[in-house]
Amino acid sequence: MTRLLVLNGPNLNLLGKREPGIYGKGSLKDAVELVKTAAEEHGAEAESYQSNHEGDLVDAIQQAEGKYDGIIFNPAAYTHTSIALRDAISAIDIPVIEVHISNVHQRESFRHHSMLASVCKGQVVGLGLSGYRLAALALLESFEGRR
Ligand code: CA2
């Protein structure tokens, strides 16, 4: 069975509890549920992991190969800084889609650059929690050979 990993970086555990103006009212659980529902509709399944620690995220990426078919990854602030996460993504053979809830290009200039985008299959930016679902659909459809 096709398996997806929804991976979330630092502070995303606060979703829905703080800053609803930027990130909306939905929780991280809501984001994960969107992916689980999309996966089930395609006869697949999804699991999730969130960490505030860069090394834990590197471990999760390394361990994903062989266990999951693709990763939906919101690296949060590490997007803009982490060569370690970039190297981890480069080292695995499964596709990773980078997701950002907010439109990072409308925000501070330090959020405009991603260290990870060029080693990811694609990026979904600024579409709120729907971005998680859209990334899941892109992966699932690519596995079905439709796109
Ligand atoms: O828009 C996104 O999804 C981001 O990845 C979110 C990160 C930010 O550093 C990126 O530039 C863009 C921040 C996640 C922090 O999430 C919070 C949620 C609620 C309250 C406070 C922080």
- Cα 33 to ligand 1 centre (Å): 19
Do the Cβ atoms of 23 and 101 come closer than 8 Å? yes
Do the Cβ atoms of 6 and 28 come closer than 8 Å? no
The answer, yes or no, to whether any atom of ligand 1 lies below 6 A from the CB of 121, is no
Tell me the pLDDT tens digit for each residue of 21-67. Answer: 899 999 999 999 999 999 999 999 999 999 999 999 999 999 999 99
Strand partners, 45: 3
**Ligand 1 atom with least separation from CA of 100:** 3
- CATH of 3-144 given 2.170.190.11, 3.40.718.10, 3.40.50.9100, 3.50.30.30: 3.40.50.9100
pLDDT of residue 147: 54
Q: Which residue has the higher pLDDT, 104 or 146?
A: 104
